[in-house]
A and B are shown apart, each in its own frame.
Chain A
């Protein structure tokens, strides 16, 4: 989709044109899902986050001032919604642990023997070992291949910070993945 077409669709959606909004959803739904999955690492949660993101866009598109690209604004919502979901999950897990249900915790953190897992599962697992901001940077910049400037706009930090986190994140993941191989 060209930038002009996207701009037109955004303008029409702002005026309440449902057909235009539907087209925007259809164009971005897969990217939004993939990005959300990168954070939450679960298909059900990724679907829920992706839907929630578009509902948020639906209700707040009138306040979108088009100073940034629509996709940048959209990805920022995906990132924030996914991070909120992770926080909720963490709180839920803490509650479960405090109630003495250690079994569910074990299931969530230990999905099975490493040799049975696909390589992509190793990556997802290592990714979730990283601190939140580092993980966001690695997903957006390295895995999704977005430019550094766009990532800095999405995460509201400087380009320098993006580079630093990317460097540290990749180094840490290298160590984690090498450890997995050695095992």
Chain B
């Protein structure tokens, strides 16, 4: 938040809070000075790199992109060659092609008629009532948040001695499994708030999954910072209890195969 404060991007209320904090915290005040100095030295460019080129250059840019797009389209051999071959075959073997297409059509039509007789028509009572999938989704969400909570609490509590590395193989595997579960949940019809939380959580899990098997303190601190700054543990706990309460017996049943 110090950066936003230094850039004067905070609203009045937040700005006042930061000012009050800075007045009593020497560490944050010193940090702000360092940050301001960094910002002063790394000021945005006065002249943009695109200004190095003439107007003529930019006028022709879109044209050059189109040319390149067309050229790269022509270099897509698989699809083009397939259609070219099909077209060529149709031209030189027209009677055979028509006969082949007619026989395929007859087979497909016969198949449709046969299935129409064999399969019973769908009755209204066969359709699942809407309440059942909602409960199912809630159970999956509760399960997902429960597992994520355990993982993030573990990461938050992990202790790494200065200068040493810690093995995170198990945590990374768990994160990958949870990412798969998040993607599966994202395709289900879940409410907007849950979707938002699942996506925010997924970002943290991706960071964890992408870490090296043996991580040092700064690496873990990045993930931890993400957890704390997003207030993730609190939000997960609230979501978990909300979805758990919506279940009939209030207890989530663990499901694992969402791949």
Asked if B225 lies at the interface with its beta carbon under 8 angstroms from chain A, I say yes
- The distance in angstroms between the C-alpha atoms of A167 and B2, with both chains bound, is 9
B68 is contacted by which of A55, A157, A159 (Cβ under 8 Å)? A55
User: Knowing A142-B42, A156-B206, A159-B230 touch, does A54 contact B37 (C-beta < 8 A)?
Assistant: no
What secondary structure prevails in chain A residues at the interface with B? helix
B46 is contacted by which of A25, A37, A120, A142 (Cβ under 8 Å)? A120
Chain A's closest residue to B47 (CB) is A120
Most buried by A among B227, B228, B229: B229
Asked if B255 lies at the interface with its beta carbon under 8 angstroms from chain A, I say no
- B66/A34 in contact, CB under 8 A: no
- A163/B228 in contact, CB under 8 A: no
User: Knowing A54-B69, A55-B69 touch, does A142 contact B39 (C-beta < 8 A)?
Assistant: yes
Per-residue 0/1 for A34-64: is the Cβ within 8 Å of any B Cβ (1 yes, 0 no)? 1001100001001000111011001100000
Chain B residues whose C-beta falls within 8 Å of the C-beta of A26 in the assembled complex: 61-62
A55 is contacted by which of B35, B52, B61, B72 (Cβ under 8 Å)? B72
Q: Which of A76-84, A93-101, A168-176 contacts B (4 or more CB under 8 A)?
A: A168-176
- A29/B58 in contact, CB under 8 A: yes
Chain A residues whose C-beta falls within 8 Å of the C-beta of B229 in the assembled complex: 158-160, 163-164
Question: Taking the nearest CB of chain B, how far is it from the CB of A163, in angstroms?
Answer: 7
Interface size on A, residues (CB 8 A): 48
- B203/A156 in contact, CB under 8 A: yes
Chain B residues whose C-beta falls within 8 Å of the C-beta of A178 in the assembled complex: 41
User: Knowing A55-B68, A167-B3 touch, does A142 contact B44 (C-beta < 8 A)?
Assistant: yes
B206 is contacted by which of A144, A157, A174 (Cβ under 8 Å)? A157
- A51/B39 in contact, CB under 8 A: no
- B49/A37 in contact, CB under 8 A: yes
Asked if B248 lies at the interface with its beta carbon under 8 angstroms from chain A, I say no
- The distance in angstroms between the C-alpha atoms of A179 and B71, with both chains bound, is 47
- The distance in angstroms between the C-alpha atoms of A117 and B100, with both chains bound, is 73
Most buried by B among A142, A148, A158, A163: A158
B62 is contacted by which of A29, A34, A171 (Cβ under 8 Å)? A29
- A171/B34 in contact, CB under 8 A: yes
Chain B residues whose C-beta falls within 8 Å of the C-beta of A166 in the assembled complex: 3
Chain B residues whose C-beta falls within 8 Å of the C-beta of A55 in the assembled complex: 65, 68-69, 72
- The distance in angstroms between the C-alpha atoms of A38 and B44, with both chains bound, is 11
- A30/B42 in contact, CB under 8 A: no
- A22/B62 in contact, CB under 8 A: yes
Chain A residues whose C-beta falls within 8 Å of the C-beta of B45 in the assembled complex: 120, 123, 143
Question: Taking the nearest CB of chain B, how far is it from the CB of A92, in angstroms?
Answer: 22
- A177/B69 in contact, CB under 8 A: no
Asked if B109 lies at the interface with its beta carbon under 8 angstroms from chain A, I say no
Chain A residues whose C-beta falls within 8 Å of the C-beta of B58 in the assembled complex: 29-30
- A25/B222 in contact, CB under 8 A: no
User: Knowing A51-B64, A170-B39 touch, does A161 contact B69 (C-beta < 8 A)?
Assistant: no
- The distance in angstroms between the C-alpha atoms of A145 and B206, with both chains bound, is 25
Question: Taking the nearest CB of chain A, how far is it from the CB of B7, in angstroms?
Answer: 9
Chain A's closest residue to B40 (CB) is A174
- B62/A25 in contact, CB under 8 A: yes
A43 is contacted by which of B34, B35, B49, B69 (Cβ under 8 Å)? B49
Residues of A in contact with B (beta carbons under 8 Å apart) = 18, 22, 25-26, 29-31, 33-34, 37-38, 43, 46, 50-52, 54-55, 58-59, 120, 123, 126-127, 138, 142-145, 148, 152, 156-161, 163-167, 170-171, 173-174, 177-178
What are some 11 contacts across the A-B interface (CB < 8 A)? A22-B66, A37-B50, A46-B49, A52-B68, A120-B46, A157-B226, A158-B204, A161-B203, A161-B222, A163-B229, A173-B38
Among all A-B residue pairs, the 7 with the closest Cβ atoms:
A160-B229, A174-B38, A170-B38, A37-B49, A158-B226, A30-B50, A160-B226
